[in-house]
Structure formats: structure tokens, C-alpha cells
Amino acid sequence: MKLNENFKNLKESYLFSSIAAKVAAFSREHPEKKILKMGIGDVTLPLAPAVVNAMRAAAEELGNKQTFRGYGPERGYDFLRERIAAHYRELGVSLDTDEIFVSDGAKSDLGNFLDLFDRENTVLVPDPVYPVYADTNVMAGRKIVYANACAENGFLPMPDESVDADIIYICSPNNPTGAAYSAEQLAEWVRYAKRKNAVIFYDAAYEAFVSESGLARSIYLAEGVRECAVEFCSFSKTAGFTGVRCGYTVVPKELVCGGLSLNAMWLRRQTTKFNGVSYIVQRGAEAAYSEEGKKQIAKNIAAYRENAGEICRALDRLGVFYTGGKNSPYIWLKCPGFSDSWAFFDYLLENAGVVGTPGCGFGANGSGFFRLTAFADQKTVREAMERFAALFG
């Protein structure tokens, strides 16, 4: 018996598990201290009533002999995939429903999609970015090269012809920096991917937060993209499904490599290793696209945007450098007075009881940076920024 020794090359625990463990230890030592959590990007507002009603009705259906259902269709129910396709049409993108695969979330699919690729491929990952992209490839033993995101390029790295890659990760709006690409910039990545015969993994989990015109909410807005990009998205940050679990992946039929269709391969992989998302959850996701559901969800997103504005205004008053907040629920700030993000994390926790995410957890370029999330109660955000101002004002 031989284990996958690539695991030795991973950090001991996943970023957000390490933070949770540190905060739990601090709370045990200081039970009297009120902790304000703005670390992991987990939603705090309840599900939209339209979603709850649809899930309740679906549960009733399953409890009735006439309307009971067992296994669902492999790619997800038509009723949901048709709604997702309609959502893309509103963005200006035309998709066939059999290019859409419903899943239990973007994180699982981002990791699982790698099953389709050889271990010898080189992956290009932005730095900083969501740690799942690098970690899943470290587990597989793939070579990783990084695209540097920094203040000088607006945290939006563009292709470097001298770098060769087979799989290219793009997260826009970016987690953690909040920087978002335009369709023209994405088209440049598409041209680069085609020259390199590479595939783009595009993570659109935060697309609902794009508020500035001219920024893309899908990579499929870029020209010539259907032969080279897969898009991952989720209801987590849009409809508050972090605990409910539902997402989807788009695999265009033109994506063919060495005679193999990625759409067919992904279907084969999913039908073998995955039995789909529950009917109740898919009905809830469908309701997120109803007129009522859309209005209720827009209200929640507006509340998170308001929180982001509150954080930005507090940092403006303090003269702290930051990005994000406009097209993203995340605010990416330069640690005031600290060059080590974990030291800043400890200082902020111990002296203000505020939890954020150390920038270095998203990559080497995140050193000296820190992420705050707007996914929190308004009261928490206000109090946290008051405590922040008292420390750094």
C-alpha cells in the first residue's frame, strides 16, 4: 500500500480551517471577549422566502406517493438547467442546456474537473487567489506556475507569452482582491489559451456582485471562448446557498482536445462518481430565478454591498490602501503597520476581537495584505470598523 505522497506538499490544514481553529482557541482562552467574524466568506442573511417556499413544497412532493421522485437526471433537472440558460441569455450568452451540469457547488467541481486532465499538465494560477486551485493541483502532483497580481497591474495579471501552461485559472471578480476583468481583457486570455492549446477554468462565483459597467459577469462574453473555457458558478454567494449546496459548471460542446470532448468526459465522470443534487435543493435554486426570488435575493446582495461600502469608507478615513468592495463582497487591504499577515491577524484578534483572513493564505503576493468580508451583519461590520479605527486611527 502506498499513499499519495503529494499530500506532504500541502500546508498542514486548509486556510479557513486554520483560521477557525485559531479563533476557537482564542475564544476558549478569552470567553469574555466578543469576537466579530469577518474571515471566511460565509453568508449571514437567511434564504429568500421564495426559495424556502419552493423547498418546502418539494419536500411535500417527495412525501407523497403520486409525486415522489428517486434519482434525478444526471446533469440536473431540466427545470433548473433551463433557468440557468435563461440567466445566461440575460447576460448576453447563449448556451444549450446540455452544456450545463448542476452540482453541489463550485468548490467540488473545481477540484473534480481535474479528473479529466493528465498529471503532467502545467497549471497557471493567479497569485493571490482562492487557495483551492493550488491545493487541488498540489494533491495531484501537478506543476504550478503563478501569474503575479499586484497593485501595479490592478491585481489583474494579463498573459505572459513566455509562460507555458495547459490549464489556466481565472477568478473574476477575484477572491480575495475583488478585481474584475472586462470582456476585452478576458478575450486576451482566450487568445493566449488558444495559442498554448490550454483550457481556462473560469470561476464566476462572485459574478452577482459586479456593479460597474464594462466588467464581465461570464467568460462566455469574450470572443472565440467556447473552444477553450469551462465556467464554474454557484448559488452560494448569490442566493445564500453556502449551507444548502448547489452550483453548476458550463462545459461547451466545442471544447474538444485530442479528439476527446470535455463535455462527454465530464458527463461520464459525473455519472460514475456523483448522483446529483437533491430535488428539494434544485427546486430551491430554480426559485432563486423567479421574479419574486430575484427581488428578494437582490435585497440581500444590496445589504452586503452596503456593508462593503461601510468597510471602504472606514478604510478611506484611516488612509489605508485597499481594493475590492465595489464589484465583490471582499475588501483587500494593506495591513497597517505590519508586513506579516498572520502577525496582523493575531494583533487584530487579540486587540480588537476582529477576525479577517491573512493575505498570505491566498498566495505569496498576499503577504502584508488582509481580507475582510462584507458577508456579515451590519451591526458586526459597524462595530468591527469602529474597533479597527480605534486601533489604527
Interface residue with ligand MLT among 23, 36, 40, 360 (CB under 6 A) is 40
SS3 21: helix
Using the contact rule CB under 6 A, the part of the chain among 20-28, 39-47, 119-127, 304-312 near ligand MLT is: 39-47
263 versus 357: smaller Cβ distance to ligand MLT: 357
263 versus 300: smaller Cβ distance to ligand MLT: 300
Mark residues 152-191: x for contact with ligand MLT by CB under 6 A, - for none: -----------------------x----------------
Footprint (CB under 6 A) of ligand MLT, residues 129-148: 130
Name 167's bridge partners: 123, 199
At its nearest, how many Å lie between ligand MLT and the CB of residue 85?
A: 24
Q: Give the Å distances, CA to CA, from 388 to 194, 375, 378, 380.
A: 46, 17, 15, 12
Distance between CA atoms of residues 158 and 197, nearest Å: 17
Is residue 107 a contact residue for ligand MLT (CB under 6 A)? yes
Using the contact rule CB under 6 A, the part of the chain among 40-48, 217-225, 270-278, 305-313 near ligand MLT is: 40-48
At its nearest, how many Å lie between ligand MLT and the CB of residue 357?
A: 7
Q: H/E element holding 260?
A: strand 260-261
Q: Is 214 left (phi over 0), alpha (psi -120 to 50) or beta?
A: left
Distance between CA atoms of residues 124 and 144, nearest Å: 6
CB 310 within 8 A of CB 385: yes
Mark residues 113-132: x for contact with ligand MLT by CB under 6 A, - for none: -----------------x--
Interface residue with ligand MLT among 20, 22, 35, 42 (CB under 6 A) is 42
Closest by Cα among 132, 147, 205, 150 to 173? 205
At its nearest, how many Å lie between ligand MLT and the CB of residue 61?
A: 30
Mark residues 64-103: x for contact with ligand MLT by CB under 6 A, - for none: ----------------------------------------
Distance between CA atoms of residues 212 and 221, nearest Å: 16
Using the contact rule CB under 6 A, the part of the chain among 37-45, 188-196, 213-221, 303-311 near ligand MLT is: 37-45
Q: Give the Å distances, CA to CA, from 267 to 96, 226, 253, 272, 322.
A: 15, 17, 12, 8, 42
At its nearest, how many Å lie between ligand MLT and the CB of residue 196?
A: 28
Residue nearest to ligand MLT (CB): 41
At its nearest, how many Å lie between ligand MLT and the CB of residue 234?
A: 8
Using the contact rule CB under 6 A, the part of the chain among 4-12, 36-44, 61-69, 300-308 near ligand MLT is: 36-44
Distance between CA atoms of residues 105 and 126, nearest Å: 21
At its nearest, how many Å lie between ligand MLT and the CB of residue 393?
A: 27
Greatest Cα pair distance in the chain: 65
By residue count, the chain amounts to 393
Number of residues that bind ligand MLT (CB under 6 A): 6
Footprint (CB under 6 A) of ligand MLT, residues 336-375: none
At its nearest, how many Å lie between ligand MLT and the CB of residue 33?
A: 23
CB 199 within 8 A of CB 167: yes
Q: What is the CA radius of gyration of the chain?
A: 21
CB 106 within 8 A of CB 203: yes
At its nearest, how many Å lie between ligand MLT and the CB of residue 107?
A: 5
At its nearest, how many Å lie between ligand MLT and the CB of residue 175?
A: 5
236 versus 296: smaller Cβ distance to ligand MLT: 236
Alpha helices in the chain (DSSP H): 15-29, 49-62, 78-91, 106-112, 132-140, 183-195, 236-239, 262-273, 279-287, 291-318, 341-352, 378-392
Q: Residues in the site for ligand MLT, rule: CB under 6 A?
A: 40-42, 107, 130, 175
